[in-house]
């Protein structure tokens, strides 16, 4: 993305420099040309010019529309990570960056990524607002407590790149720095296989899901008191009040911490809150487990089976 961001940036600089020099130059030129030469000089009586006024309205409009369309296209490209992007979670904390890979690797203030692969960062904060900033990638986004923000980038050159916190977050804000280590794919594979203390994020989440007894209500067979979670990720779910909500990371997180906020249609608001019981990192594990239930559920539905009569009733998925 760096090339596209820079091209737009230099275009803006070019436009600014061109008009600054033009205006400053004309001010000096006319000041000299039309200076008062004698005590009897009287200025010409001019009552405006329609052509001139249309000109200085239309030309800036065209220039700003070019900037708008160009800027919007870069913005959309930056806001839409490709589907095949590698997902990595980040948790900001006074004063460090914690990274969590899907395979289970955790890192602090260092982020290892492969070259030539799109990487999507899903970020949140444990305390105050931080800001994930990798200048070399032209990537910058606020990291907020209580919600997930995302950025994506595709490293094109192996190397080590500065990572900064770009939001004043307290005493050691300036020390909240790190490095993004971009590796050749083979090196990255070696790095990945070197020491995974726990299992993958989803498998740790599965264990936590059982430890917290989530599985007593959220059962795969639609006999539980909570919605069946299999296959829900990425779908739109209808709530009790008729509202449609996207079943994404933010919704899963909210439903764990504040279960009565948005209750799926056909269910009672009986789930207890897990606020204070699960950390931000454990939330990521649970989310990744719920996301992984998608793949398992897609296998049976791919076969031509007739769904049972109860399935449609208890599965709050909007068709
Ligand atoms: Cu975190 Cu500044």
Question: 70-89: buried (b, 16+ CB within 10 Å) or exposed (e) per residue?
Answer: eeeebeeebeebeeebbbbb
Can you tell me the mean pLDDT for 128-144? Answer: 94
Which of 28-32, 197-201, 312-316 is the most confident on average? Answer: 28-32
Share of the chain above pLDDT 90, in %: 47
Q: CA triplet 54, 59, 63: central angle to 5 degrees?
A: 155
Query: With 80 as the cut, is the pLDDT of residue 311 above it?
Result: no
What are the start-end ranges of the H helices in the chain? 2-33, 50-79, 185-193, 201-211, 249-257, 280-302, 309-314
77-88 pLDDT tens trace? 999 999 899 999
Between CA 34 and CA 36 the distance in angstroms is 6
153-205 pLDDT tens trace? 999 999 999 999 999 999 999 999 999 999 999 988 888 877 666 677 788 88
pLDDT value for 196: 63
Between strands 178-183 and 159-165, the pairing is antiparallel
Beta bridge partners of 110: 179
| Residue 25 tokens, joined | 């130059």
Beta bridge partners of 88: 101, 121
pLDDT value for 299: 46
| Residue 140 tokens, joined | 């910058």
- How remote is the CA of residue 173 from the centroid of ligand 1, in Å? 4
Task: Report the atom number in ligand 1 closest to the C-alpha of 166.
Answer: 2
Sign for the CA dihedral angle at 268, 270, 275, 279 comes to: negative
**Upper half-sphere CA count for residue 160 (Cβ side, 13 Å):** 5
pLDDT value for 258: 84
Between CA 70 and CA 308 the distance in angstroms is 51
**Upper half-sphere CA count for residue 312 (Cβ side, 13 Å):** 5
Does the CB atom of residue 123 touch ligand 1 within 6 A?
no
Does the CB atom of residue 218 touch ligand 1 within 6 A?
no
253-280 pLDDT tens trace? 888 888 888 888 888 888 888 887 888 8
Gyration radius (Cα) of the chain, Å: 28
- How remote is the CA of residue 279 from the centroid of ligand 1, in Å? 20
Helices (H) and strands (E) in the chain, counts: 7, 12
| Residue 309 tokens, joined | 């009569």
- How remote is the CA of residue 180 from the centroid of ligand 1, in Å? 17
- In this prediction the pTM is 0.69
pLDDT value for 198: 67
Share of the chain above pLDDT 70, in %: 91
Three-class secondary structure of residue 49 per DSSP: coil
Between CA 204 and CA 193 the distance in angstroms is 17
Which of 11-20, 100-109, 222-231 is the most confident on average? Answer: 11-20
Other C-beta atoms closer than 10 Å to the C-beta of 30 total: 10
Task: Report the atom number in ligand 1 closest to the C-alpha of 94.
Answer: 1
Can you tell me the mean pLDDT for 300-316? Answer: 42
pLDDT value for 294: 67
Residue nearest to atom 1 of ligand 1 (CA): 130
Quickly list DSSP for 192-237.
HHS--SS--HHHHHHHHHHHTTGGGTS-TTS-SSS---TT-TTSEE
Query: With 80 as the cut, is the pLDDT of residue 4 above it?
Result: yes
Does the CB atom of residue 163 touch ligand 1 within 6 A?
no
86-126 pLDDT tens trace? 999 999 999 999 998 888 788 889 999 999 999 999 999 98
User: Mean pLDDT, the chain, as a whole number?
Assistant: 85
């Amino acid at each position: 993305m760096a090339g596209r961001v820079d091209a737009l940036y230099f275009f803006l600089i070019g436009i600014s420099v061109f008009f600054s020099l033009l205006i400053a130059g004309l001010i000096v030129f006319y000041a000299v040309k039309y200076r008062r030469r004698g005590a009897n000089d009287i200025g010409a009586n001019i009552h405006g010019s329609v052509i001139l006024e249309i000109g200085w309205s239309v030309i800036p409009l065209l220039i700003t529309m070019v900037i708008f369309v160009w800027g919007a296209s870069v913005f959309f490209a930056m806001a839409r990570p490709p589907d095949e992007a590698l997902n990595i979670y980040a948790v900001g904390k006074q004063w460090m960056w914690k990274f969590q890979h899907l395979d289970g690797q955790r890192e602090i203030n260092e982020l290892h990524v492969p070259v030539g692969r799109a990487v999507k960062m899903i970020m949140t904060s444990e305390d105050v607002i931080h800001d994930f900033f990798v200048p070399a990638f032209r990537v910058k986004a606020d990291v907020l407590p209580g919600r997930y923000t995302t950025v994506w980038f595709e490293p094109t050159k192996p190397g080590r790149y500065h990572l900064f916190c770009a939001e004043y977050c307290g005493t050691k804000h300036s020390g909240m720095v790190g490095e993004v280590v971009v590796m050749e794919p083979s090196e990255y594979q070696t790095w990945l296989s070197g020491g995974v203390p726990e299992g993958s994020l989803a498998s740790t989440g599965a264990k936590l899901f059982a430890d917290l007894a989530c599985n007593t209500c959220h059962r795969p067979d639609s006999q539980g008191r909570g919605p069946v979670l299999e296959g829900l990720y990425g779908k739109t779910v209808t709530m009790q009040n008729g509202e449609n909500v996207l079943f994404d990371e933010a919704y899963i997180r909210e439903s764990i911490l504040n279960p009565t906020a948005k209750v799926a249609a056909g269910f009672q608001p009986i789930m207890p809150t897990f606020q204070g019981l699960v950390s931000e990192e454990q939330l990521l594990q649970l989310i990744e487990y719920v996301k992984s239930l998608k793949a398992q559920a897609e296998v049976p539905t791919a076969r031509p089976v007739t769904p049972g009569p109860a399935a449609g009733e208890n599965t709050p998925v909007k068709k």
